[in-house]
Structures are given as structure tokens and as C-alpha cells.
Structure 1
Amino acid sequence: MIDAIIIIIVVVLLALALKGSLKHFKGESPCCGGSHESYDIEEKKLQSPIIGKKTLEIEGMHCQNCVHHVMKAINSIEGASAKVDLDTHLAVVSYDRELNEQELYYVVEEAGYHIQSIMDK
């Protein structure tokens, strides 16, 4: 009898965990401390003419709050402005001065995400 109760408790806990995980990966949960509301993220304006663009493939983004964190991290770099797309997991970074790729890796990692690849656009 006790074994059956333990099994039922374990099944219920697993079902709740699965439900929460599915909501998280669909972007319907408050992952990363955010909410399901939409974000109006203002694009950073560069002060000088754009001299190049890089496309970053980013791993670990699940919701608009994640996009906001990545965009804020990249935009903290002097001379860089990012547009981040959750559906493609890509960030297009425009820059108006030489851009250190190691600094890109560093700020994205510090925000809790990972750059899989960087391509010159």
C-alpha cells in the first residue's frame, strides 16, 4: 500500500515538472525572472556610420525576457548595437568601430547564454 502511494506522489511530481518545462520552452512561463508580456526594446543608435555587421547564433534563449537580456548585454559594448530574434536564435550586431569578438563572447556568457558561432555579414 505504501509503495502505491509513493509511486502516485512521484508520478504527480513528474507531471508537474513536465508541465512547467513545456511552458518554459514555449515562452509561456516567467523564466529568467520575466513575464509573458511583450517587450518593446528600443534599438541602440550608433553615433558613427556602421562599418560592419556580425551575425551571432545564440544558444539558451527561451522567451522575450531572454532576448532582452542578450540585447542589453551586447548593447553594453561601446560602438555595438544588436537586433535579437528569438525564433531564429540569431543576433545581428552592427558596429561603428572595430569589434572585439572575445568581448562579444564575454558579455553574452555573463548574461547566461552561449554564442555557438559568429559570422561576418
Structure 2
Amino acid sequence: MSPEISNVLIVVIIAIILFFAIKNSISHFKGEGACCGGGSKKGILIKPKKLDKIIEVRKIGIKGMHCKNCSRRVQNALNSIDGINAKVKLSREVAIIKLGKEIDNKMIEKTITDLGYEVIREGGNEN
């Protein structure tokens, strides 16, 4: 095989690899990829619980969410905790958490970090 043919073959293989890498990246960042349950199935958003009274509101920064499925996953996990009404804002990388009872920050942070995201403390109480 001549060196020219080898070079052309290598360039074609690299072009194919780049095509699929870029295609998958675009889908991922549009929220259409397999990230956090995206893709063929639409994720279900659990409606936040209505609290009888709100004793505190906390704002927690979250790093590592890339798409609406990531934010939905975090919001659902937080809303599964009794006494929490949470809304996650992907564009601001933050969770606004209303508390109906006293809940330790460590529990909230563990819920987020167990999903693979990083907690950035922006406000609220330090427990």
C-alpha cells in the first residue's frame, strides 16, 4: 500500500470519528441525548409538594448539570424528601428549596452529590 493511500485512509477514519463525536455532543447539549434519562423517553417531572407553611428558603448552587434532564433528575430527588419543595434552574445552576420543616443541609447536599453533581454553597443556612 502506498503512503498516499495510507494517509487518505487515516484522514477518512479520523473524519468519521469526528462526525459521530460532534453529532453526539450536539444531541447531548440540546438535552436529547442519553444524559440522565434523556433520549427516547421523556423524563417525568415530579410536581413539588405544597407545604402547609414555609419555615425557610435555601438557595444551593449545583455544578455539573448539562441539560434539562440533569436538572429534572436533581429536582425530583430533592422533592422526594419529606418537607421539601424544590425548583431547579438549569440556566442559573441553582436549586431554590422551600422547607416545611427543619432539614439538615448535609442531607440535601448528599442527595445532590449522590447523583454525581457538585454542591456550591451560595446562601442559606450552614448546618
TM-score between the two structures when normalised by the length of structure 1: 0.82
Q: Return the offset for 1:3.
A: 3.1
1:50-89 map, 5 Å: 50-89=54-93
What is the distance in 1 between the residues matched to 2:101 and 2:46? 23
Aligned residue in 1 for 2:50:
45
**CA offsets, 1:28-66, max 9 Å, x none?**
3342222485855412222x4111101111112222221
What is the distance in 2 between the residues matched to 1:38 and 1:79? 23
Stretches of structure 2 that go unaligned for 5 or more consecutive residues are none
SS at match of 2:71: helix
Aligned residue in 2 for 1:102:
106
Name the % identity.
35
Q: Is the 8 A contact 2:60 2:121 kept in 1?
A: yes
Q: Is the 8 A contact 1:80 1:93 kept in 2?
A: yes
What is the distance in 1 between the residues matched to 2:39 and 2:47? 18
SS at match of 1:16: helix
TM-score between the two structures when normalised by the length of structure 2: 0.79
- Change in Cα spacing, 1:60 to 1:117, as seen in structure 2 (3 Å) is same
Count of residue correspondences: 120
Stretches of structure 1 that go unaligned for 5 or more consecutive residues are none
